[in-house]
Amino acid sequence: MSPDMMIDIFRQMLYVVVLTVSVIVLPGLVVGLCVAVFQAATQINEMTLSFLPKLFVMLFVIAALSPWLMKLLVNFTQNLILDIPYIIG
C-alpha cells in the first residue's frame, strides 16, 4: 500500500463528507441569514424565530436529497470495498 493510494482514498473521503455536509448546512445558513436580517429590521429578539426555520429547512433538504446522498455514500463505500485487494496487494 503506497502513501499515494492512501492520500487518494483520504481525498475522496473528504470530498464525500464536505459535499454531504455542505448540501445540508448551506440552506440552513441562508435561511438563518434571512431570519437574522428580518430580526434586525423588526428588532424582534426571539431565539425560536431563528432556530425553527433553519431546522425545518434542513429537515426538508435531508428528506428531499436523501436518495442522492445515500447513493453518494453507498457508491463511495462500494468502491472502497472493491479496492481492498489493490490496497492490500
pLDDT in tens, the chain (89 residues): 788 888 999 999 999 999 999 999 999 999 999 999 998 898 888 878 888 999 999 999 999 999 999 999 999 999 999 988 888 87
> Has residue 8 been placed in a domain?
no
Total domains in the fold of the chain: 1
pLDDT of residue 44: 84
Is residue 54 assigned to a domain?
yes
The answer to the question of residue 19 being in a domain is: no
Give the pLDDT confidence score for residue 25 in this predicted structure. Answer: 95
Q: Which domain holds residue 40?
A: 24-88
In a domain, residue 40? The reply is yes
- Prediction pTM value: 0.80
Residue 47: exposed, middle, or buried by beta-carbon count in 10 A (0-12, 13-18, 19+)?
Answer: exposed
Residue 2 lies in a domain: no
Q: What is the DSSP string of 66-89?
A: HHHHHHHHHHHHHHHHHTHHHHH-
Q: Is residue 62 situated within a structural domain? A: yes
* Helix (H), strand (E) at residue 37: helix 3-42
Residue 17 in any domain: the answer is no
